[in-house]
Amino acid sequence: MIVKFFRRGKGSGAGPLNYLLVAKGGKPREGAKVLYGDPKLTEQLINATPYKQKYKAGVLSFTEDAEKFTDKQKKDIMQRFEDTLFIGLEPDQYDILWVEHSDKDGRLELNFVIPCQELRSGKSLQPFYAGADLVRVNAFKNIINQEYELTDPNEPVRKRLTNPYVSNAPHPTPFDKKSKPTKKEDDQIIANPESTFALKEAIDRKMRHFLEEKTLNSRSSVLYALKGMGLKVKRATKKSISVVHPTMKRNIRLKGAIYEDSFQGLSQRAHLINGRQGDYERTSESRGHRDLKTWTKGMEIKKEYHQILYGDIKSPEPLEFSVKAIESNNIPKDKIQTPASQRSYTPSI
């Protein structure tokens, strides 16, 4: 299972609701089922939100079939995800809509939409901010995957040569395309990139091309190739390489097996992965303890943050009703005599 948060969130409520529940032609989307929440209420709350970020949407995506999970298991995963995001808040302080999708080869997807407004006060509510929440959410993901014995995306056997999902890039990205037919096109992009995304894509395509030509066989050959593209290597860590482009202010971080310190080319890839996979499986228990510790600490920090932001907001006082005997006022009174109405015109017979 992986957790994805989408970049969209500034439009009307009809956008995410139609995507989740409506197919082309206005028909109900096949394989879509509302598990929790009221779509109409969620749409109205999004439309009524006065902030620039009106909603946050995302998905818990599984490789396992939807039929593998019981309703109780789905509810447990959804509730624990809500607890991870909204620790310290009461259920009446936020709205969330859960919609199940199973139309992608039967795989389970638990989609969620959250209006970005705290419901008691009307203040802005930001359910997820990567800088503050990503570590805690990743720990939640790891805990659920281990507890339910789900597919673990962190396993070395699943690691890609390059990272196909640039941070915050739309999914899927052009990384999934094959190498460009001509070397000049990528050279032009690297020389004058339109964006960080475009630059990373071009670098990765060239790296895959070099790999096919068997000119990459170590970390030093990777660094040499990057310098040959006109990039300055700013930092090289065990897991990534950061480069500087002449036209960009920020460093560009490159991630994936190619950019790791232990990279030794395709000839060593299978051996390295098998070794890492064995080490990964042996440390399963210790990683579980570490994830739980990380999640618990993150929950404490998030709870304190929510208390500072919304702690002075009290729930509405319940309405007080009192039951009193009501005396009948239905006492007959003297009828007041009124003169009969007189016609001003009598029709002829």
**CA dist., res. 82 & res. 96, Å (int):** 9
- The verdict on whether 19 is a catalytic residue reads yes
Q: 12, 8, 10: which is closest to 43 by C-alpha? A: 12
Which is the catalytic residue, given 19, 36, 51, 305? 19
pLDDT of residue 265: 77
**CA dist., res. 65 & res. 77, Å (int):** 15
**CA dist., res. 345 & res. 105, Å (int):** 84
Domain extents in the chain = 2-154, 160-255
pLDDT of residue 168: 43
Give me 313's structure tokens.
Answer: 């907001």
Long-range contacts formed by 191-200: CB under 8 A, 24+ apart: 191/230, 192/247, 193/245, 193/247, 193/248, 196/166, 196/248, 196/250, 196/252, 197/166, 197/169, 197/173, 199/245, 199/248, 199/252, 200/166, 200/252, 200/254
Q: Which CATH architecture has domain 2-154?
A: 2-Layer Sandwich (3.30)
pLDDT of residue 42: 98
Taking only the tens of pLDDT, the chain with its 349 residues reads 999 999 889 999 999 999 999 998 889 999 999 999 999 999 999 999 999 999 999 999 999 999 999 999 999 999 999 999 999 999 999 999 999 999 988 999 999 999 999 999 999 999 999 999 999 999 999 999 999 999 998 887 776 655 554 444 434 333 333 443 457 788 899 999 988 888 998 998 888 888 777 788 889 999 999 999 999 999 999 999 999 999 998 999 998 888 999 888 766 566 656 766 777 788 889 899 999 999 999 999 999 999 999 988 777 666 566 666 666 566 555 554 544 443 332 333 3
pTM of the model: 0.65
